[in-house]
Amino acid sequence: MGRAPCCDKQGLKKGPWTPDEDQKLVAYIQRHGHGSWRALPKHAGLLRCGKSCRLRWTNYLRPDIKRGRFSLDEEQLIIHLHAILGNRWSAIAAHLPGRTDNEIKNYWNTHLKKRLLHMGIDPVTHKATQSPPLLSSKLSHLAQWDSARLEAEARLARRTSSHDHPDHDTFLRSWKSQATGPLRSDHLPSVPLVPSFMQNWEQSHAQHLASPEFSSCRSTSTTTSSSPSGASSTLEFDSAGAALLLNHLHSSMSSSNSQLNQMESLMSPTSTLRPFDGQDCSSYSSPVPSDSMVQHHCERLMQNSNSSSCTAMNTFPGLISETSMFPSNVGFVDHETSMSVNPCRAPPTTSLWQQPLVQLDSAAAAHAAISSVSDGPSCSVLSSEDESSSSYGSVLQLPPEMLLDLVDSAMGGSNKCMSVAASSAGSCWPDVSQLAGKDYWSNMLKLVGPPCQEMPLAVMDR
DNA sequence: AAAACGGTCAACCGCGTTCCG
DNA sequence: TCGGAACGCGGTTGACCGTTT
């Protein structure tokens, strides 16, 4: 036989709880703990079923429940987690201390979902469903600032969650399966690049590309593209060359000694990055896109915007660019709380990665925002203010995978390149689980692969 | 002043899972 | 091992309240 029924369903009270009932429930739980919910109402002198008591306690009376409005950080985290977890409110609530699943669910349904919908973003898929009406008009109000911020968060979250795309999994499995053997990279496609980017790329890697290994296995062709950006070049590697390139990228990113310096020398011959205020940034090891790459990406976005000026800069945890016009705490992450104090309000989780910022005037930002919607999720406008009311203009936030995103977007979103990005990023991620103290992120890291020391390095198959 | 409307959120409902006798 | 109740979770409801007409 099963259990005995917990209570007689008849004669039980339903509906809103009275203060007297609340007092009885709290007093009983404080003295005895809740123990068995089915037995609690009888012992506490309540004419309620155990289920009702449990809900009242967990959703309202529990002493650690946080009351009041959701903070912006909480909003960002909800959007971010929802993009990954969907409507799993209890799982989302586990990452917002003091908030209940019911509260988060209500807040999503009454606030966040509507705002995303209003911006033309599907709150289920977190993908743009249409041109956001707000972005197609003037970007000059606080509501639009807020909308742009939410849009950026949704995009960022979606891109982060894209690691569990089936194609990506397939490639990761393929990658991992080669741990004991040489990397077979003949499946890597050629990479079409716009000329300015290709020039930067080749300059940055001149030494490597000039090596006999590379020169014997690469070729360059130029084709005319129908895209607004005009002609594009294709940098092609055969399998050996692709393997070498991968190896070069990977080893440069994953080496533990002087990692930041190596990445900087790899990606940014003109970088002006410097440590900020003596902060120990040795625990951070995110790949750093160079100023020139940010500049290039900015140029791409600006090609249709007729903007006259564009100031590029890099920020990432613990470091700040000398070219920054922002307050000195831009991009800084509190080591204790892992909370970002960056005014763009990047979610704490994503702020563990670099947050390249591109400064534009409002008109340019509007154009860039629109082009980013139609041209793929390569960037997001985080904020937009009237030039007259702000010391700085609008801010574009490029996603953390920007470095390889440049390649990825040029390839039309090839899953292979995304995989390279994930592998590289995974190998360079800081210990997020330690910083955030969340088991969840450990699980997320498992999804995208083991840390660098466990990752197989590409080996030339020649 | 009052009806209509819309937003909010605590509480309930129903279903799948877990637990226990 | 099985059956049934408890539990946990997500969806839905409806009372309440503020705003608009």
Please tell me the pTM assigned to this model. Answer: 0.42
The residue that minimises its CA distance to C1' of B6 is A110
Q: Is the CB of A10 under 7 A from strand B?
A: no
- Confidence label for A282 from pLDDT (cuts 50, 70 and 90): very low
User: Which residues in range 30-59 of chain A are in contact with strand C, contact meaning CB within 7 A of any of its atoms?
Assistant: 36-38, 50-51, 54
Q: Is the CB of A3 under 7 A from strand B?
A: yes
For residues A18-45, one letter each, b for 16 or more C-beta atoms within 10 angstroms of the residue's C-beta and e for the rest, the string is eeebeebbbebbeeeebeebbebbeebe
User: Which residues in range 107-136 of chain A are in contact with strand B, contact meaning CB within 7 A of any of its atoms?
Assistant: 107, 109-111, 114
pLDDT of the residue at A347: 29
Separation of A18 CA and C16 C1' (Å): 15
For the ranges A71-80, A278-287, A331-340, A452-461, the maximum mean pLDDT occurs at A71-80
User: Which residues in range 393-452 of chain A are in contact with strand C, contact meaning CB within 7 A of any of its atoms?
Assistant: none
pLDDT of the residue at A290: 38
The residue that minimises its CA distance to C1' of C5 is A3
Q: Is the CB of A107 under 7 A from strand C?
A: no
Separation of A111 CA and C21 C1' (Å): 25
pLDDT in tens, A390-428: 222 223 333 333 323 333 332 333 222 222 222 222 222
Q: Which of A425, A416, A414, A417 is nearest to A447 (CA)?
A: A425
Separation of A16 CA and C18 C1' (Å): 21
pLDDT of the residue at A9: 53
With a cut of 50, say whether residue A202 has pLDDT above it.
no
What domains lie within chain A, and their CATH numbers? 19-61 (1.10.10), 72-157 (no CATH), 165-356+398-454 (no CATH)
- Confidence label for A378 from pLDDT (cuts 50, 70 and 90): very low
Q: Is the CB of A3 under 7 A from strand C?
A: yes
Q: Which of A96, A102, A95, A93 is nearest to A61 (CA)?
A: A102
With a cut of 50, say whether residue A306 has pLDDT above it.
no
With a cut of 70, say whether residue A75 has pLDDT above it.
yes
pLDDT of the residue at A294: 39
Q: Which of A324, A329, A406 is nearest to A359 (CA)?
A: A324
Separation of A278 CA and C6 C1' (Å): 57
pLDDT in tens, A140-176: 333 444 444 444 444 444 444 433 333 222 222 322 2
- Number of neighbours of residue A84 by Cβ within 10 angstroms: 21
| H or E, element range at A360 | strand A357-360
Q: Is the CB of A227 under 7 A from strand C?
A: no
Q: How far apart are the first and last CA of chain A?
A: 69
d(CA A353, CA A41) in angstroms, rounded, equals: 49
Instruction: Compare A254 and A448 and report the one with higher pLDDT.
Output: A254
- Residue A396 contacts residue A360 (beta carbons within 8 Å): yes
- Confidence label for A239 from pLDDT (cuts 50, 70 and 90): very low
Q: Is the CB of A14 under 7 A from strand C?
A: no
Question: Which nucleotides in chain C lie closer than 7 A to a protein CB?
Answer: 3-12, 15-16
pLDDT of the residue at A90: 86
Q: Is the CB of A99 under 7 A from strand B?
A: no
Between the alpha carbon of residue A398 and those of residues A18, A41, A293, A346, A355, the distances in Å are: 51, 54, 11, 11, 7
Mean pLDDT computed over A280-288: 26
A53 closest-nt by C1' vs CA: B11
Separation of A37 CA and C6 C1' (Å): 9
With a cut of 60, say whether residue A199 has pLDDT above it.
no
Q: Is the CB of A297 under 7 A from strand B?
A: no
With a cut of 80, say whether residue A113 has pLDDT above it.
yes
Q: Is the CB of A221 under 7 A from strand C?
A: no
With a cut of 70, say whether residue A15 has pLDDT above it.
yes
- Number of neighbours of residue A274 by Cβ within 10 angstroms: 9
